[in-house]
Amino acid sequence: MGDAIRFRDDEPHEEPAVTLDAFLGQSNATAVRLEPDEDARALLPHLDRLSLIEVAFPKFRDGRGYSAARILREAGYTGELRAAGDVLLDQIVPMRRCGFDSFAPETTLDLEAVERALYRYDYVYQKTVDIRPPVWRIRNG
Amino acid sequence: MYKYDEYDQSIVEARVEEFREQAERRLSGELSEDQFKPLRLMNGLYLQLHAYMLRIAIPYGTLSSRQMRMLAHIARKYDRDYGHFTTRQNLQYNWIKLEDAADILAELATVEMHAIQTSGNCIRNISSDQFAGAAADEVTDPRPWAELLRQWSTFHPEFTYLPRKFKIAVIASEEDRAAVKLHDIGLQIRRNEAGEVGFRVFVGGGMGRTPMIAPLIRDFLPKEDFLSYMEACLRVYNRYGRRDNMYKARIKILIHELGADEYRRQVEEEFLHVKTLGLDPPAGEFERIAAFFAPPAYETGLPDEIDLSDPDFASWVEQNVHAHKQPGHAIVTISLKPVGGIPGDASSAQMDLMADLAEQYSFDELRVTHAQNIVLPHVAKRDLHTIWKKLDAAGLATPNLDLVSDIIACPGLDYCSLANARSIPVAQKIAQRFASLDRQRDLGEVKLKISGCINACGHHHAGHIGILGVDRKGEENYQLSFGGSGAEDTSIAKIIGPGFSEDGVVDAVEKALETYRELRTEGERFLDTYRRVGLAPFKEAIYG
């Protein structure tokens, strides 16, 4: 495991994340891990008692987790949303834009490079779940 | 034409710097080729048989003369003095050094160009009708919508690691010059009975190893819902498209397996949710973009008659010039298919000349066609003869548009690391066999398309005559198929029988076309005759 990166001010969640099956089967877990083929919408009835949702990226090329993250944020989830696994420097920006605010990469990332990547683009074209205004909003007031 | 504002420019320049760092990390050895590959691929840089190939995006195939001159300049300075126009209306350089790639992108950025998403499993360059804004039969200019898609899809964070690449085309005519139903999403702009503009949405077409014609998913999508609906289409695909087998990962397989009705149901359900998120830009943004595509200031009162007493000029006008919606004007297609040439290639000098002609005679605009030719979209008819003479002097006046020598061919084994067989020599031999223009004209419209492997970059499935190069026990072998069409009567060509050697396939094409000549009725094209009589007489002539 590489070093974790967090963009949250609250205390990191200590409880280990349980599988989706285990979570749906037991009522008291507050952290869950979502595999790429699992439906993020299964969590929607339970968002208010979740503090951590960890989305697994076994291979960086498997982009299902980006949709999962956005779906969770679009539904109003405000807890920690962590991308875990094959998370590389060049995925941090799109992941942030899809609502991830915590990263558990397999290999430690160069924090300076992450910082540079996050501030490289002054503008974005799309409205997503982050707070960045799309260019069309800036243009049209 | 669309012009970048500070925001567009800032995004493209940031991309140049990002790529420069990535390339430096590779050159210093910090990144392995394996780690670098997905990064360079997202930027159109492929490692081919002999060198790096760099693919430049030409959004919806529209170029200014300044941009065309930049393409010529890059070919001269960094490549071997030529470039290759592709079936996605893009341009490829075949001999690029990794050390130069970032500098090339920086030069492109000075003329509002880039190589963003010209490869990788993301939304690729948006293609469109090469006659957009000029065609007499269009409902509206489709390019503002294509530009809206370009911006929306550029670095779309959710759709950067799709199961597979994703191609979108937009047209606004009943006549389909962009093969929309052979795209992942094909959009046809139309008006409903109330006169409102909206989209017919086809999803799940494609060529490749499993060719499919896209089913209709929405008959009329109101323009206000455009991007929300695109998000919904893509999200369903991103979540449920197959990722276990790259050959089954395109959206056409998902829709084939789910069925169009179930895919539609899922998209409509997702759309109801997405529509609540406020992702669609306000009408003002569309109007801002559309203003860039306002018709040019045509001269009025120009004559429609042309002096056609020069027979060579007349035959070029007959073949390569189309009707324009503005009286006294015409659309010129410059053939990049001289007999013996490489389909789609243009030298730097030719690119410069085409740029000059566009600047002088076509309101500074050029288009790239998916059939690998170049269009001057807005030409006054009185200038046609002058233009023709200048093109002729540069070897660019071959009057063969849509004739048998106007061949689409992929780069094939001469360049491409995926290819099983060469495409270019087959194209050259066929063009030479039918070198006589009288003979070509007599044979009429024949869309002949050649791919050097089953990935079908040469669109062989959509050819009236399609040729697919395969490797048979170490020998190049060519399968022949008939009956495809990328036009509004979209169909997929069928293999006619056992394959041929390189020379054998040229002979077989000739026998097929001679058979057509014997069987055709008045006004029938090869495709029409084939559809009417079926394969049997052709098969008999070729294999009998």
d(CA B228, CA B417): 38
What strands, in cross-sheet order, belong to the sheet with A18-19?
A: A5-6, A102-105, A80-85, A52-57, A31-34, A18-19
CA distance B18 to chain A (A): 8
The pLDDT mean for chain B works out to 96
Cβ separation B152–A88 shorter than 8 A: no
Name the token pair of B475: 């020998």
**What is the mean predicted confidence (pLDDT) over B115-134?**
96
Model pLDDT, residue B30: 87
Question: Left (φ > 0), alpha (ψ -120 to 50) or beta: where does B60 sit?
Answer: left
pLDDT at B48 over 90: no
Q: What is the DSSP string of B520-543?
A: --TT--HHHHHHHH-SHHHHHHHH
The first and second tokens of residue B144, run together, are 């503002």
Query: CB–CB of B121 and A61 under 8 A?
Result: yes
Does B415 have pLDDT greater than 90?
no
Paired with B170 in beta bridges are B128, B187
Which residues lie closer than 8 Å to B300 by C-beta, 6 or more apart?
B327, B328
Closest partner CB to B288 (pick from A94, A117, A139): A139
Which residues are bridge partners to B403 per DSSP? none
- Determine the residue among A44, A71, A127, A129 to mutate to test chain B binding: the one whose Cβ has the most chain B Cβ atoms within 10 Å: A127
Say how many CB pairs under 8 Å bridge A and B: 98
Q: What is the pLDDT of residues B67-80, one digit of tens each?
A: 999 999 999 999 99
A103-125 mean pLDDT: 95
How distant is the Cα of B62 from the closest Cα of chain A, in angstroms? 21
Residue of B nearest to A36 (CA): B239
pLDDT at A5 over 90: yes
Residue B202's φ and ψ, nearest 5 degrees, are -105, 135
Any idea what the Cα angle at residue B147 is, between residues B168 and B281, rounded to 5°? 105
* 3-class DSSP state of B448: strand
The dihedral sign for the CA sequence B306, B311, B313, B318: positive
Does the beta-carbon distance from A127 to B278 stay under 8 Å?
yes
- Quick one: chain A helix, strand, coil %, rounded to 5? 35, 20, 45
Confidence class of residue A65 from pLDDT cuts 50, 70 and 90? Answer: very high
Task: Note the pLDDT tens digit of each residue in A98-110.
Answer: 999 999 999 999 9
Full-model pTM: 0.96
CA separation for the pair B416, B294 (Å, rounded): 40
**How high is the mean pLDDT of chain A?**
95
Q: How far is A24 from chain B (nearest CA, A)?
A: 21
Inspect the interface and report whether the beta carbons of A64 and B238 lie closer than 8 Å: yes
Neighbouring residues of B231: CB distance < 8 A, sequence distance ≥ 6: B158, B270, B274, B279
Is the pLDDT reported for residue B41 higher than 90? no
Q: What residue of A is the nearest CA neighbor of B150? A: A125
Note whether A136 contacts B: Cβ–Cβ < 8 A.
Answer: yes
Taking an 8 Å cut-off on Cβ atoms, the answer to whether A124 and B39 are in contact is: no
- Please tell me which of the candidates B239, B277, B285 has its beta carbon nearest to residue A74: B277
Q: Is A128 on the interface with B (CB under 8 A)?
A: yes
Average pLDDT over residues B365-369: 98
- Which value, in Å, is the radius of gyration of the alpha carbons in chain B? 23
Instruction: Tally the residues of chain A.
Output: 141
Identify the helix (H) or strand (E) that includes residue B506: helix B502-519
In sequence order, the 6+-apart residues with CB closer than 8 A to the CB of B489 are none
Using a CB–CB cutoff of 8 Å, tell me whether B359 touches chain A: no
pLDDT at B530 exceeding the cut of 90: yes
**What pLDDT score was predicted for residue B58?**
98
Q: Mind listing the pLDDT tens digit for each residue in B50-69? A: 788 999 999 999 999 999 99
Alpha-carbon separation of residue A65 from A52, A128, B271, B509 (angstroms): 15, 15, 19, 49
Residues within 8 A of B (CB atoms), A 17-46 only: 36
The answer to whether residue B282 neighbours chain A at the CB level (below 8 Å) is yes
**Token couple for B219:** 């008959």
Q: Do B542 and B530 form a contact (C-beta atoms < 8 A)?
A: no
Determine, for residues B281 and A88 on separate chains, whether the beta-carbon distance falls below 8 Å. Answer: no
Domains identified in chain A, total number: 1
pLDDT category, B104, cuts 50, 70, 90? very high
Cβ atoms of B236 and B263 within 8 Å: the answer is yes
Of the candidates A38, A105, A24, which has an alpha carbon nearest to the alpha carbon of residue A68?
A38
Question: Where do we find the tokens 């191609």?
Answer: B167
Chain B hits for A90, CB-CB cut-off 8 Å, are 22, 38-39
Q: Is the dihedral of CA B354, B355, B356, B359 positive or negative?
A: positive
- Could you give the C-alpha distances from B297 to B136, B139, B275, B378, in angstroms and in order? 17, 20, 39, 10
Question: What DSSP string runs through B79-133?
Answer: SSSEEEE-TTS-EEEEEE-HHHHHHHHHHHHTTT-B-TTSSSSSB---EE-TTTT
Angle (deg, nearest 10), helices B65-78 and B98-109: 160
Query: Please, is B507 exposed, middle or buried when counting C-beta atoms within 10 Å of its C-beta (0-12, 13-18, 19+)?
Result: middle
Q: By C-alpha distance, which of B366, B391, B396 is closest to B65?
A: B366
pLDDT computed for residue B481 by the predictor: 98
pLDDT of B121 reads: 94
Q: Given a cut of 80, is residue A26 above it in pLDDT?
A: no
Q: How far is B85 from B322, CA to CA, in rounded Å?
A: 21
Amino acid at B234: L
What secondary structure letter does DSSP report for B66? H
Closest CA to B145 of B123, B168, B164: B168
Closest residue by Cα to residue B431 from B510, B340, B360, B532: B340
Residue range(s) defining the domain that contains residue A25: 5-140
Alpha-carbon Rg of chain A, whole angstroms? 15
- pLDDT tens track for B384-396: 999 999 999 999 9
Q: Say whether the ipTM exceeds 0.85.
A: yes
CA distance A26 to A21: 9
Q: What is the mean pLDDT of residues B404-414?
A: 93
Q: With the CA atoms of B13, B19, B23 and B24 taken in that order, what torsion angle do they form, in degrees rounded to the nearest 10?
A: 60
Phi-psi region of B194 (alpha: psi -120 to 50; beta: other; left: phi over 0): alpha
Q: Which residues of A touch B152 (CB under 8 A)?
A: 125-126
**Torsion over CA of B5, B10, B16 and B22, rounded to 10 degrees?**
-150
pLDDT at position B356: 98
The structure tokens listed for B318 are 């007959």
Domains and CATH numbers, chain B: 6-109 (3.90.480.20), 127-291 (3.30.413.10), 311-393 (3.30.70.3340), 408-543 (3.30.413.10)
User: A140 touching B, CB under 8 A?
Assistant: yes
Q: What is the pLDDT of residues B227-277, one digit of tens each?
A: 999 999 999 999 999 999 999 999 999 999 999 999 999 999 999 999 999
Neighbours of B444 (CB within 10 A): 19
SS (H, E, C) B193-208: CCCCEEEEEEECCECC
Distance, CA of B437 to CA of B298 (rounded, Å): 34
- Does the pLDDT of residue B289 top 90, yes or no? yes
Best residue of A37, A55, A61 to probe chain B, by most B CBs closer than 10 Å: A61
CB-CB neighbors (< 8 A) of B163 in chain A: 63
> CATH number, domain at A100?
3.40.50
Q: Which helix (H) or strand (E) holds B188?
A: strand B185-191
* C-alpha dihedral (B244, B162, B45, B43), degrees to nearest 10: -160
